[in-house]
Amino acid sequence: MTEKRILTSEEISKIVDGLNPIDHKQMDLLAKMPPGKRFYPSLRASAMIRAGLRTAFKRKFPNLSLAEINMKILDYLIFMDGKYGHA
């Protein structure tokens, strides 16, 4: 196990440079929401992504049923999770 050390400001800058800027308005809106509803925006985004995938797969595979399209979406999300650690 390696020992912990303090990062230099240059090392911290290299790490932070790759991150997206903080959306302070979004953070404020989320902070004002009740804790039980803070996950709603994430659920909506996830549903929108699945709807987009469903539309794309329907166009690519017009002969498949909705259940088969949904299985293709599930297969795609599992593949993406395995490859990138997230869908």
Give every residue of the chain whose pLDDT is below 50, as ranges: none
CA distance 3 to 14: 21
Count of C-beta atoms within a 10 Å radius of residue 41: 13
User: Which pTM does this prediction carry?
Assistant: 0.60
Write down the pLDDT at residue 20.
82
What 3-state DSSP class applies to 2? coil
CA distances (Å), 39 to each of 13, 34, 45, 70, in order? 30, 10, 10, 23
Write down the pLDDT at residue 1.
56
Structure-token pair, residue 25: 């308005």
